[in-house]
A and B are shown apart, each in its own frame.
Chain A
Amino acid sequence: MSFNNLDTLYRQVIMDHYKNPRNKGTLADDAITLEMNNPTCGDRIQLHFIIEDDTVIDAKFEGEGCSISLASASMMTQAVKGKQVNEALEMAQYFSQMMLGQEPETDDLELGDIQALQGVQKFPARIKCATLAWKAMEKAIDKKNE
């Protein structure tokens, strides 16, 4: 049967990340830990980052939320792991521009699965779900720099 325009939102790759989240779990106590929630809907995410020499050595997450917020968290951790901090921040910026429906420069970014979330921009009520993990990541990096 046809599912309206739902397939633009719930791409197979998103549902795969939701069902089989990558990097789910916690890290050693000395990792940077940051919790963020979406107070309007109750979604909650906890990020664990290890950053050494300006590189994201490891990234894990735990949380409760909808398919979009958890898939986005899974994709985010996958995307930034092994990346330089400034690259991770660049990705976050790219991501928020993508949610605003802009078409940012992507030349030197390895976006991978993240592109699948592009359809979320057509569902304004769900943009906050998608951006939660990315905002948390920016804050986690801020925390490291403090």
Chain B
Amino acid sequence: MCARDIRRDFPILDQEVNGYPFVYLDSAATSQKPSQVIEAVSDYYRQDNSNVHRGVHTVGTRATEAYEGARESVRSFIGASKTEEIIFTRGTTEAINLVARGYADKHIQAGDEILITQMEHHSNLIPWQQVAKRTGATLSYIPMEPDGTISLEQVRQSVTRQTKLVAITHLSNVLGTINPIADITKIVHAHGGVVLVDGAQAVPHMTVNVTALDCDFYAFSGHKMCGPTGIGVLYGKRELLEVMEPVQFGGEMIDFVELYDSTWKELPWRFEAGTPIIAGAVGLKAAIDYLTEVGYDYIEAHVAMLTDYAMKQLRALGGITIYGPEHRSGLITFNLDDVHPHDTATVLDSYGIAVRAGHHCAQPLMKWLEVTATARASFYLYNTTEDVDRLVEGLKNAKEFFGDVF
């Protein structure tokens, strides 16, 4: 297998942008979708579309089987022990908000502490600010090392008996830092707290086994791992989901409804009010099948090779600041000296190269880095070393263009 064969699975890459072959280096924002996923979603609508868990007709049964089959596929993919521990959500953000409202609001009170890090994406930061405001709990931060990593020593010093919940990213969307979740979980559990992991960036790039990590909640999105937008997953340990309250009410999630009171369905459906994201789940299953077939060994090795290659090329370019630790996964956040990242991104776009520029939904981290914005190139299984060469060429042009002016 090679990157060239994989590229053929992604029809969007076969186009020109601004007169140049398209180079997509923004997979950390959202990944592209292979034909296998696009067709699975399309086939579902063409052949199996019906509502799930209701009615007795044949096509409805097929839709239910497809939806629940996707849940089983997710369970096995992330190594959860029980299918009812898999809740479908709209994405990582909704999954984290569900835990914040449904679990944290009930089980955290004034005097308790919620512990997070300054490298969190806004989606794993603002929900906890809000829980702290609603409950009177304290929100604290585990200090980061100067290279943008979290040391276990700092974790040990930060976690106390008051720490009821630690929410942390598995893989930083800005720094590329991979956090030692299994070790962190051990420390937090020893003090009686629970751990929620934001896996939005990790799941696309590495084998994740929630049982081995022993985390209590794990959230991720389909769209960053070759799946459709609008589908995500909350994994939660059964005993915690049992004491979590639904935050959305309506059809599909109820057991008995009377005039003034109702009871809820068993797990996981009590957290999936309304017609669920059926086509999204079907697409997510297709994405899991696709990534599994390509193989995470290949994906990890290929992305690591591209990242190393790009790091070397960018350093050789000179006049560039790269943020984050040496050991990183899949992305490089950087700034060209004296060129604002928007300007860098506009120049690259004029050569058909898509990178992200801005604060990457991580304003507190930008403050820590002492910048207002950065550019970010992120790699995935369909990228090639030619893509990196094009990036480097584009950055040379940006330097020359802005260098001419100054």
Query: Which residues of A are in contact with B by a Cβ distance under 8 Å?
Result: 1, 3-6, 9-10, 12, 15, 18-19, 40-44, 64-68, 123, 125-126, 129
Contact = CB atoms under 8 A, between A and B. Distances in A.
Contacts of A64: 372
A42 B372 contact: yes
Nearest to A9: B346
Contacts of B346: 6, 9, 123, 125-126
B83 to A, nearest CB: 39
B64 to A, nearest CB: 40
> Interface residues of A: mostly helix, strand, loop or mixed?
mixed
In the A-B complex, list the 6 residue pairs whose CB atoms are closest, starting with the nearest. A66-B342, A66-B340, A42-B359, A15-B405, A4-B350, A41-B358
A95 B172 CA distance: 39
B248 interface: no
B50 interface: no
Interface in B376-398: 397
Tell me which of A5, A42, A64 has the highest count of chain B C-beta atoms within 10 A of its own C-beta: A42
Given A41-B357, A42-B373, A4 B342 contact: no
Nearest to A41: B358
A4 B19 contact: yes
A40 B358 contact: yes
Given A6-B350, A42-B366, 16 more contacts: A1-B400, A5-B350, A6-B346, A6-B347, A9-B346, A12-B405, A15-B405, A40-B358, A41-B342, A41-B357, A42-B372, A43-B373, A65-B340, A66-B342, A66-B343, A125-B349
Nearest to B341: A66
Interface of B: 18-19, 340-343, 346-347, 349-351, 357-359, 363, 366, 372-373, 397, 400-401, 405-406
A99 to B, nearest CB: 16
A41 to B, nearest CB: 4
Contact of A6 (B340, B357, B363, B401): B401
6 contacts: A5-B18, A6-B346, A12-B405, A44-B372, A125-B349, A126-B346
Contacts of A3: 347, 350, 397, 401
Contacts of B401: 3, 6, 10
A19 B343 contact: no
Contacts of B397: 1, 3
A67 B347 CA distance: 12
Given A3-B397, A67-B340, A41 B350 contact: no
A95 B342 CA distance: 21
Contacts of A1: 397, 400
A19 B402 CA distance: 11
A112 B405 CA distance: 21
A4 B372 contact: no
Given A4-B350, A41-B358, A68 B342 contact: yes
A94 B42 CA distance: 46
